[in-house]
């Protein structure tokens, strides 16, 4: 029997600082995504809720059942939550604010605890396990070098407290919710070796390994010039469970002047677009944002953290890392498949000539492409 894959799209593509706004966006866009794909089937969602929205849901005991009923009425299934952005992910300037609060801050723990309760209440009855992706500890530069060890210990303490809560939650709900650290360029844990080393040093117990794992983002791994196959091999070697794979694609080019002129169109004010440039066979030169890399104008292989539609292999003179998605899907664990989530949140900040007039149509094209890619990799895709 082929392994089963469940696929969602991440709703952080839609503005939603409040619960009412989130639901309005789902009613406006997600219903049409569902209808484009199959109006008679359910649509898998990777739900993003701000900290304020999560607290609102749990403030009154009947709000979570009401939310579940609303999702059922709209034929949505919540397969996973995105617990990375804490606040308004669509404010005019997000940049490094998305990494705050980090895992040294109890506010990050409190937000994630809220999300665990919500996901346990929203998971489909057939699923006994659900994933929440989260910040990979902190933006590296936000941790003072002289205090790094103490700050890592503080973050680990909060993660251990989270794991203990998840054990209690499983005992009362029979739902195993995992929180999965998502390596991202520029963060403390931005590659598979750094993540597995953190687990080896700080998250060694059986309990923490049962409830804490990794969310592998194919765009992030590609930006770090990391082999997708080697990343999954490292997770397996160090017994770090892959709870979620975010299917996403980065920009790539060879650094020619006309290519860089086109790449400059993707430098924008809302999101951070970390960039790595591989010169020769050495270590990639890393830049916090695309405009900083463009200032240096290096000749080499460029990769930029800009989530572009996954079905595109070329954009003008630029390439994308979309082919690496197939490599990642082939390397995923088969005996305990992760949930798969398309996470192209940057549709609305693409250069104007690349934006879909109909956002729902663009998202549906990504989901259909990813379904085909999963089938090609040997999965049976539900529904």
Q: How sure is the predictor about 26, in pLDDT bands with cuts at 50, 70 and 90?
A: very high
- Which residue, among 74, 13, 25, has the nearest Cα to 246 in the 3D structure? 13
Q: What is the mean pLDDT of residues 334-351?
A: 97
Peptide bond before 341: cis, by omega within 30 degrees of 0? Answer: no
Query: What is the residue-wise DSSP string for 207-241?
Result: HHHHHEEEEEEHHHHHHTT--HHHHHHHHHHTT--
CA neighbours closer than 13 Å in the CB half-sphere of residue 280? 2
Q: What is the DSSP secondary structure assignment for residue 40, as one 8-state letter?
A: T
Do the beta carbons of residue 364 and residue 288 sit within 8 Å? no
Give the model's pLDDT for residue 282: 85
Instruction: Give the single-character DSSP code of 27.
Output: I
Q: What stretches of the chain show up as alpha helix (H) in DSSP? A: 19-25, 31-37, 51-59, 63-73, 106-122, 148-173, 192-202, 206-211, 218-223, 228-237, 257-263, 290-296, 323-331, 359-376
What pLDDT score was predicted for residue 195? 98
Q: What is the mean pLDDT of residues 58-67?
A: 96
For 76, the 3-state DSSP assignment is strand
Q: Region 232-237: what's the mean pLDDT?
A: 98
Asked if the model's pLDDT at residue 280 lies above 90, the reply is: no
How far apart are alpha carbons 119 and 96 in whole angstroms?
26
What's residue 382's pLDDT? 86
Q: What 3-state DSSP class applies to 15?
A: coil
Domains identified in the chain and CATH numbers: 4-249+321-382 (3.20.20.150)
Q: State the pLDDT at residue 80.
A: 98
* Percent with pLDDT over 90 in the chain: 97
Mean pLDDT of 204-231: 97
Is a pLDDT exceeding 90 seen at residue 235?
yes
Residue position matching structure tokens 């839609």: 14
For residues 348 and 9, what is the distance between their CA atoms, to the nearest angstrom? 16
Rounded mean pLDDT, 315-336: 97
Determine contact, residues 243/178, Cβ cutoff 8 Å: yes
Q: How many CB atoms lie within 10 A of CB 312?
A: 17
3-state secondary structure of 361: helix
* Sign, Cα dihedral of 345, 350, 354, 357: positive
Using alpha carbons, select from 269, 187, 194, 264 the residue that is nearest to residue 226. 194
Res 281: pLDDT: 78
What distance in Å separates the CA atoms of residue 32 and residue 28, rounded to the nearest whole number? 7
Mean pLDDT of 343-361: 95
pLDDT computed for residue 272 by the predictor: 98
Residue with tokens 């739902």: 175
> Tens of pLDDT along 303-314?
999 999 999 999
H or E segment at 380? strand 380-382
DSSP string, 302-360: EEEEEEE-TT-SEETTEEESTHHHHHHHHHS-SSSPPEEEE--TTGGGS-GGGS-SSHH
Tell me the pLDDT tens digit for each residue of 101-137.
Answer: 999 999 999 999 999 999 999 999 999 999 999 999 9
Q: How far apart are CA 242 and CA 256, in angstroms?
A: 37
Edge-first strand order for the sheet with 275-278 is 285-287, 275-278, 301-308, 249-253, 318-320, 314-315
Three-class SS state of 245: strand
In sequence order, the β-bridge partners of residue 216 are 245
What is the percent of the chain where pLDDT is above 70?
100
Query: Do 278 and 301 meet the contact criterion of CB atoms below 8 Å apart?
Result: yes
């Amino acid at each position: 029997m082929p392994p089963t894959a469940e696929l969602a799209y991440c709703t952080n593509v839609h503005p939603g600082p409040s619960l009412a706004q989130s639901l309005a966006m789902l009613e406006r866009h997600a219903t049409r995504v569902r209808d484009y794909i199959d109006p008679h089937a359910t649509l898998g969602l990777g739900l993003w809720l701000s900290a304020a929205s999560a607290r609102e849901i749990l403030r009154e005991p009947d709000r979570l059942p009401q939310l579940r009923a609303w999702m059922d009425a709209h034929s949505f299934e919540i397969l996973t939550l995105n617990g990375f952005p804490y606040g308004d992910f669509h404010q005019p300037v997000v940049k490094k604010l998305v990494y705050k609060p980090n895992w040294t801050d109890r506010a990050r723990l409190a937000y994630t605890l809220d999300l665990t309760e919500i996901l346990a209440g929203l998971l489909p009855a057939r699923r006994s396990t659900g994933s929440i992706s989260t910040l990979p500890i902190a933006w590296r530069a936000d941790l003072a070098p002289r205090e790094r060890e103490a700050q890592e210990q503080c973050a680990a303490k909060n993660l251990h407290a989270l794991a203990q809560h998840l054990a209690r939650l499983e005992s009362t709900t029979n739902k195993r919710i995992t929180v999965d650290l998502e390596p991202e360029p520029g963060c403390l844990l931005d590659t598979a070796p750094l993540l597995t080393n953190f687990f080896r040093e700080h998250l060694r117990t059986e309990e923490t390994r049962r409830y804490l794992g990794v969310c592998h983002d194919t765009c992030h791994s590609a930006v770090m010039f990391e082999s997708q196959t080697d990343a999954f091999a490292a997770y397996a070697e160090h017994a770090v469970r892959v709870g979620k794979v975010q299917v996403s694609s980065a920009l790539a080019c060879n650094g020619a002047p006309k290519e860089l002129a086109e790449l400059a169109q993707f430098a924008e004010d809302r999101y951070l677009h970390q960039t790595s440039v591989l010169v020769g066979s050495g270590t990639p030169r890393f830049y916090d944002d695309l405009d900083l890399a463009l200032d240096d104008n290096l000749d080499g292989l460029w990769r930029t953290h800009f989530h572009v539609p996954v079905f595109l292999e070329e954009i003008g003179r630029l390439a994308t890392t979309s082919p690496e998605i197939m490599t990642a899907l082939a390397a995923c664990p088969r005996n305990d498949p992760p949930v798969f989530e398309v996470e192209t949140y940057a549709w609305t900040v693409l250069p104007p000539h690349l934006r879909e007039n109909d956002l729902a149509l663009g998202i549906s094209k990504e989901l259909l492409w990813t379904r085909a890619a999963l089938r090609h990799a040997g999965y049976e895709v539900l529904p």
